[in-house]
Structure 1
Amino acid sequence: MPVAVVIPAYNEAATIAGIVHRARRQVETVIVVDDGSGDDTAAQAEAAGAQLLRQPANQGKGAALWRGMGAALAQGADAVITLDADGQHCPEDMPKLLTAARRQPGRLIVAARLERRERAPGLRRFANGMADFWISWAAGYPIRDTQSGFRLYPAAFLRAASAPHNGRRGFAFESALLIQATRLGCYPATVAIETIYHPQGRPSHYQPWRDTLRIVATVAWELLGRGLYPIGLLRSLRLLPLPVSDHEALVKQQDTGGKA
């Protein structure tokens, strides 16, 4: 299965080269979208062997992801794995996503930080839990770790998905993709990965209060347009039967797969 990795990056010169090197040991095609960085992120990524795309100015994570996804599809990728550039994701976990994709073809795979969650700050865990509740409600399906940017997207889903609109060009776009996926029958499946948190690393671009409130506002607008979607709420709470099991593609930490 031809797979491409897409890494959005904004001022990640300290970490991007190492992430690209490690990702290329797993998947041959690695695309870095430099989102208007003011440091030498672009040079570091290109020197490490990534295909480089540059945004003329900082446009937000969603816009960078969409551009990279389009480039991957144009090169014939059957799936796109998205990965953050700050070292919070472990590229060596990619085989777990590929294993899940082979077991459950056509499903969006989320690498959920379920192991050692206590490593993350309490505020971050609370904000993520809040986002999980609202996004699962709007999706009508329980989704774990909706704020994980480490995912595998089937190409067929991306071709049917909508581009980020105004107000969703940042982190909210990834939330919108999860909702779109369930509406298109591409129900997200979960891969369990370890929580990685570097207290001495650069501050996250994700601001728990600001970005979570933006996501909640986006989701609330979706719910209002569907009459608050009470069936979706009941399904997200597992009080009604689900279209597919949310445990079918759970892949444990010890599971591995081969290079794509």
Structure 2
Amino acid sequence: MQVEAAHIHYCVLIPTYNNGTKIAPVLDAVSDYTSNVIVINDGATDDTAEILARFPQFEVITHPVNQGKGVALRHGFERAIELGYDYAITIDSDGQHDPDDIPLFLQAVAANPGAVVMGARNMEQEGVPGKSSFGNKFSNFWFWAETGISLPDTQTGFRAYPLAPISKKRWITSKFEFEIEVIVRLAWSNVPFESVPISVTYEEDRITHFRMFRDFARISVLNTFLVTLALLFFLPRLLIMRFSLQNSRKKLHDEFKKNKDNPGRMAFSVGLGLFFGIFPVWGFQMLVAFGIGSIFKLNRMVVLFFSNISVPPMIPLIIFLSFVCGAPFVDDPVSIEDFRVLTMDSIYDQLRQYVIGSILFSFLAGGLGTLISFLILTFAQRKPLED
């Protein structure tokens, strides 16, 4: 029996290469949910073509020679976009994934329109290869470093993609690393992410075309490139955009109200934001504060809000107080009188005083911010915050 989601115009993409012994049951199971299936035969040299001929209701794209999973997915996306689909669900052809989980993706898409939905495998279950578990943790870490988003499974091939943002991009990878590039760049475009738990089966005769050294090297090079871009441009822009798009004052009030029973955590969030808003890492305050706040599991919204103490109107005061704090620690300090005629050249000449002072000032502001916030929040526990 075929089950269709009337309100979601989607298709299923199945890239395959020499999985002739596994693909027929996958196609049979997928057909229970939809006939909107695009199979990309990526130059298979086994009996895949003959097996696919038994499913005339599905569209088949055939590559004369193997070009890689990334190219197969890209061509599948292009065809799905041409046919007017809004979403594409990708599933592997080796029998690892259970097509009966397709309704989970449709439910998640319905609840989160426009989001990428990632299938999350239980990597701790019995039978999961050790290299797969390690590789997933490795990939999850780098995705977090590149986007600030934490996902339980970034290597799964069972995903639901919104096609509108994909149609606007040109891709640079062609092999297994494409599945990393696509989610990182969608995250940089502010596309939200959701995860759903899925079943996974690892059989002893499972066919994999992942080559440990070659493909791992390609993935490592890609991650190096993406991390560099993230640090220099995309993460600062994304953090600022996310922060400015919200009603920050109301959001901040809601965060304190929601976490009023944990004054220590919230006070530390305030202090950390103030610390990095003043600490001399100009241009990267929000990014560094966000990362450290995530490591310590603090309230990242509060951290980001208070790291904005270094907004342009406050910069002259921060520089002045930094010079004041650093004056006792240099031989020829800039005095208050000198500050009246302070120029960029004189700031450069007294860079040591500024750096020392700004570090001290950041500790002072962070410590006072934490202490004052803790006292206020502790007092506020006695009566609820007003709406």
1:170-185 aligned at under 5 Å gives the runs 170-185=175-190
- Cα contact 1:97–1:191 (8 A) shared by 2: yes
TM-score w.r.t. length of structure 1: 0.84
3-state secondary structure, aligned to 2:114: coil
Q: Is residue 90 of structure 1 aligned with residue 107 of structure 2?
A: no
Larger radius of gyration between Structure 1 and Structure 2:
2
Q: Is residue 6 of structure 1 aligned with residue 13 of structure 2?
A: yes
3-state secondary structure, aligned to 2:122: strand
Which residue of 1 is the match for residue 30 of structure 2?
23
3-state secondary structure, aligned to 2:196: strand
Tell me: CA distance 1:239–1:33, structure 2 relative to 1, closer, same or farther (3 Å). farther
- Which structure has greater helix proportion? 2
- Which structure has greater strand proportion? 1
1:1-260 aligned at under 5 Å gives the runs 1-49=8-56, 50-114=58-122, 117-163=125-171, 165=172, 168-202=173-207, 204-227=208-231, 230-231=287-288, 233-234=291-292, 237=295, 241=300
TM-score w.r.t. length of structure 2: 0.58
Shift of 1:181: 1.3
Tell me: CA distance 1:233–1:11, structure 2 relative to 1, closer, same or farther (3 Å). farther
Identical-residue share of aligned pairs (%): 32
Shift of 1:123: 1.8
3-state secondary structure, aligned to 1:57: coil
Aligned counterparts of 1:78 and 1:225: Cα–Cα separation in 2? 29
Partner deviation per Cα, 1:69-106 (whole Å, 9 max, x = no partner) = 11111111110000100001111100000100011111
State the superposition RMSD in angstroms: 2.1
Gaps of 5+ in 2: 1-7, 236-286, 302-387
Shift of 1:201: 2.4
User: How many pairs does the alignment contain?
Assistant: 238
Q: Match of 1:41, as an amino acid? A: T
Tell me: CA distance 1:226–1:109, structure 2 relative to 1, closer, same or farther (3 Å). closer
Gaps of 5+ in 1: 243-260
Q: Match of 1:90, as an amino acid? A: D
Query: Relative contact order (alpha carbons < 8 A, sep ≥ 6): 1 or 2 greater?
Result: 1
